[in-house]
Chain A
């Protein structure tokens, strides 16, 4: 059971937009920055979003992040088949003194 809650799967057609939610509590998302990672099949996780809504260099602006209260959302526009991957949210939990991740969301581009 993950501390952060994500939907197991989402799907959308190429060119469409999808959002992935990440729900937590005041001890994690509510008072810490959220990160998002993309893990393509058979590869290492890659940082997509940091500090809630910032993209590292090289990440296209099709990817966006937002946070409100104890929830965060990853948005992906202009979906491509190459976006099919597992997506994870992560943050620090101040009560646990531990890093925490969501269980991951599998994105299917139909």
Chain B
């Protein structure tokens, strides 16, 4: 069974940092491109970042570029999102999502981890 389990969310002050993790199981992690997608409370989905299977290609949304860093450890079946200089508008549920069959097509999603940026 495919599973994606995020962790690392919580309450952080503006300007602070958090590191999200996504532990996967049930598939060959090293064969899949992975993404982070977020959803602010009561709002729609927003794509955040992409990393290729080998970490050779990385993309970010303009809203997080220069502040967030995506990475992965294929030996540990884990995906990460280092978030620095956090802002109020980064408050959201963050999902890791597996890309399959086509660019930006997400067939499996984690349950999400809530990040709240507030003083």
Contacts and interface: CB of A to CB of B under 8 A. Distances in A.
Contacts of B107: 47, 50, 56
Contacts of A91: 103-104
* Most chain A beta-carbon neighbours within 10 Å: one of B59, B100, B102, B107: B102
Contacts of A96: 62
Interface of B: 35, 37, 44-47, 50, 59-62, 95, 100-107, 109-112
Given A98-B47, A104-B44, A104-B45, A51 B110 contact: no
Contacts of B104: 32, 35, 90-92, 99-100
Nearest to A50: B105
Interface of A: 2, 32-33, 35, 37, 39, 44-47, 50-51, 54, 56, 86, 88, 90-92, 96-104
Contacts of B100: 50
Contacts of B46: 101
A35 B102 contact: yes
B44 A101 contact: yes
Contacts of A44: 95, 109-112
Nearest to A51: B102
21 contacts: A2-B44, A32-B102, A33-B103, A33-B105, A35-B105, A37-B45, A37-B106, A44-B112, A45-B109, A47-B105, A47-B106, A56-B107, A86-B44, A90-B104, A91-B104, A97-B59, A98-B60, A98-B62, A101-B45, A101-B46, A103-B44
A100 B59 CA distance: 12
A101 B37 CA distance: 10
Nearest to A99: B47
A31 to B, nearest CB: 11
Nearest to A33: B102
A92 B103 contact: yes
Contacts of B59: 97-99
Contacts of A102: 44
A50 B106 CA distance: 9
Contacts of B101: 33, 50-51, 54
Those 7 A-B pairs whose CB atoms lie nearest each other, nearest first: A99-B47, A92-B103, A99-B104, A33-B102, A104-B44, A92-B104, A101-B45
